[in-house]
Amino acid sequence: MTPPSIFGLPVPDFDAATTGAPFKLSALRGKKVVLYFYPKDNTPGCTTEGQNFRDRHAEFQAADAEVFGVSRDSLKSHAGFKAKMGFPFELISDPDEKLCLMFDVMKLKNMYGKQVRGVERSTFLIDAQGHVAREWRAVKVAGHVDAVLEAVKGA
């Protein structure tokens, strides 16, 4: 079942723990924010997606956008993943699924013939005023970061 679109809606302010300084959405008002939700650190698709954001990071910053990865992994796991991959952006730890539920990215998925509850790979572009400018759900990694960067440049 596809969740309802949140396009154009304001994003409530929130705090979150990251691999660096604590995250507070309202502190980024005036900048575009890219939140990309991914299932798990150190897995093939999630690694490739993070590397793609890493490789285009300077272009996101030149477009006045900050990138943050979000998963349910611990800060310790995030710190190792970030260091290993050389990510120049912070990873947000969401073990209680507060953000995953806010953005409605928790889904039942089939894994080896069993249904498991997990994060559906999704990305959200929040504009400088704090509204959802774009949303991508059920993301396929190939070409995704290019599409997000194009939207950031147009926002």
Structure tokens at 42: 């150190």
- In order of 35, 104, 137, the CA distances from 1 in angstroms are 22, 11, 12
Q: Which residues are catalytic?
A: 46
